[in-house]
Amino acid sequence: MCPGMGEPSTMRGKVVVITGGNAGIGKETAVGLAALGATVIFTSRNPDRGADALREIRERGANEDVHCLPLDLASTASIKAFAAELLGRFDRLDVLINNAGLILSARSETAEGLEMTFAVNHLGHFMLTALLLDRLKASAPARIINVSSDAHRAAVKGLDFDDLQANRSYGSFRAYAQSKLANVLFTRELARRLEGSGVAVNALHPGLVRSRFAGDGDVRGLMGAVFGMISWAFGLSPAEGAETSIWLASAPELSGRSGGYFVQRRERAVSRAAADPAAARRLWEVSVQLTGVGG
């Protein structure tokens, strides 16, 4: 166990949900928190990959209390079904880690007609968090952790509220940067709204990680090739990339600390656009309109 991650029993009795836990950072986060004694529920869009990951996490985490549930963050129906099953099976929720994310070469839409990158990276997690929030409050002290990225700094002009769905103009990295900025704005506004509730909310940048992210044909052509070469040549291992997520979920010294943005277990300043409270409030209002929850 890495320094500062706690003893093997640190998370015993705690229930943790991790989105996108069948590979990469999410899987390593599940392994780490299972090793600390937590009941871990991770999600997977693909049943076969989920089953394979479940076997591996149970073996490596020395903890059989690990579960995989289906979740497609691009589907409102799937999010609602997942939340209903989780709330029906588990009577508490101590940590929610909004980890899943994607980047796409070409613009695509969800069944509801929403731009896919923004929908999966932000709106899906916004909706899921809203549906699970009462259980988190009832389990307080509880924690919400949003996996963002330093890519949010590339959205230097802030969120384009006039074209959030990228109907006028789509660029793969631009859409990704906008969605990661949304993660930070969501974190800050949710932390403000949850003051005094016992639920802390923080965001993090895991670093450049050697994983399946941007793989499986999601990013094609030169950009995909360059991204792959750079990440595999210079990136962290998935286990290293998961360290900050595990620490934010488990470290006793972080109790009550909320609204922060962390890189390598150190708090860092966010971009100017990400520190705009008016943009954070506006994003919340738009997200409520688009998802029908969180009002």
Considering the candidates 118, 176, 186, 227, report the single residue annotated as catalytic. Answer: 176
Alpha helices in 94-220 (DSSP H): 116-118, 124-138, 172-193
Three-state SS for 44?
strand
Amino acid identity for residue 133 in this structure: L
170 is catalytic: no
* Whole-angstrom distance, CA of residue 232 vs CA of residue 211: 8
| Bridge partners (DSSP) listed for residue 286 | none
CA atoms within 13 A on the CB side of 202: 29
Amino acid identity for residue 295 in this structure: G
Three-state SS for 125?
helix
* Whole-angstrom distance, CA of residue 2 vs CA of residue 83: 32
**Which residues, 6 or more positions from 55, have their beta carbon under 8 angstroms from its beta carbon?**
none
Write down the number of H helices and E strands in the chain.
9, 8
Active centre residues (catalytic): 176
